[in-house]
Amino acid sequence: MMKTSEVPCVPLTELPKPLDQLSPSELERKAAIGKVMTHTLQSLTSTYIDSGFQWLLPVALSQSTDPLWPDPGASIDKRIEVDIYGKIVRTTASMIIHKLVASSLAYPKLFIVSPNVRIEKAERAKTGKHIYEFTQLDFEARDATSKDVFTLVEKALVTLVTSLKKDLKPELEALRCEPLKVPKAPFKVVDKAKLEAKYGDEWEACLSKEIKEPTWVTNIPREFYDFEDFKTGKWDNYDLFLPQFGEVLSGAKREWEYKKILAKIERDQIKKENYALLLKLAKEGKVKPSAGAGIGIERLVGWATGVRHIAETQPFPRVPGTVNEL
């Protein structure tokens, strides 16, 4: 295969193009990234199935979806809502609410490979890590702790990179400037407060540039469903950062008590009626403690392949601000 490593080593000047506008060598490169994507999906889903998780199919339209608020990282231009059968439904922003209900009632350990629609502001076109339709491998486990999630994700990533290096050596060599390294588990864990004290508001960008190994960041104030200790003010949640693209996963131990969920929804000034089912189940004591997370697949494959922009991992790129026919 043709050596294409000079492509991802240059700065991001040109945005990813649709398939019909690619040259023969760019199409070859696209196909190589596609092989890494296929391998990644196979490896991750196998790890979760082998660890006792059930694979659920996603939904595209629901009354209740992730509020994505308050989240310091969110930059949503528009929310898509549509009337069907006389009811307002929203496109899936993440499957978090479905995960909480499904893991509590029927599927103690579950994962969903789920399309997420988030119409990011057009100014995010060149961050290289934002697309307006992306995919999460979103998982949840009843009675799990943050530590359990760390161990599982670390195993999934080490297994993935080890097998990628073995099975797709020529593709990785053609795509990347430097060899992909198998991460060393357990990964380092850092408190967000410490990072802010060191780097200020730009801590995310600084951390992404500085780290050479995957790093967990914990204690991040955000959406109501992540667990907050009201006594200490600490959040039992986490993001996983990888070199270059930074955050590749977000997750948490979850809130399950009715009073806390309600108090946080009210504090965040989110519409209660959009979370009526979750609130009802929590009131009845049917929401069970759990922990989970979502892995951004395009960011993960972007990291593995060393692309400049994660839309390069998409057959049909979703660059903020750009709509192609396909």
Rg (CA), the chain: 20
Q: State the binding string over 148-177 for ligand ATP (x if CB under 6 A, else -).
A: ------------------------------
How far apart CA 213 and CA 181 sit, in angstroms, is 9
- Peptide linkage before 70 cis (omega within 30 of 0): yes
Amino acid at 60: A
Q: State the binding string over 16-55 for ligand ASP (x if CB under 6 A, else -).
A: ----------------------------------------
Q: Smallest distance from the beta carbon of 138 to ligand ASP, in angstroms?
A: 5
Candidates 154, 255, 298, 312: give the one binding ligand ATP (CB under 6 A).
298
Asked if 294 touches ligand ASP (CB under 6 A), the answer is yes
Asked if 65 touches ligand ASP (CB under 6 A), the answer is no
Which residue number places its CB atom closest to Mg ion?
250
Asked if 257 touches ligand ATP (CB under 6 A), the answer is no
- Peptide linkage before 186 cis (omega within 30 of 0): yes
Q: Smallest distance from the beta carbon of 138 to ligand ATP, in angstroms?
A: 8
- DSSP three-state, residue 43: helix
Asked if 312 touches ligand ATP (CB under 6 A), the answer is no
Residue 141: burial class (beta carbons within 10 Å; 0-12, 13-18, 19+)? buried
Find out whether 6 and 313 touch, Cβ atoms under 8 Å: no
Asked if 94 touches Mg ion (CB under 5 A), the answer is no
Nearer Cβ to Mg ion (108/320): 320
Between helices 297-305 and 146-167, what is the axis angle to 10°?
Answer: 40
Q: Smallest distance from the beta carbon of 25 to Mg ion, in angstroms?
A: 35
Residues 240-259 that bind Mg ion (CB under 5 A): 250
Asked if 237 touches Mg ion (CB under 5 A), the answer is no
Q: Smallest distance from the beta carbon of 32 to ligand ATP, in angstroms?
A: 21
Residues 241-260 that bind ligand ASP (CB under 6 A): 250-252
Q: 131 — alpha (psi -120 to 50), left (phi > 0) or beta?
A: beta
**CA-based max dimension of the chain:** 61
Cα torsion angle, 96, 102, 107, 113, sign = negative
Nearer Cβ to ligand ATP (128/174): 128
Buried b vs exposed e over 274-300: b needs ≥16 C-beta within 10 Å?
Answer: bbeebbebbeeeebebbbbbbbbbbbb
The footprint of Mg ion (CB under 5 A) covers 250
The footprint of ligand ATP (CB under 6 A) covers 71, 73-74, 118, 120, 130-131, 134, 136, 247-250, 294, 296, 298-299, 310
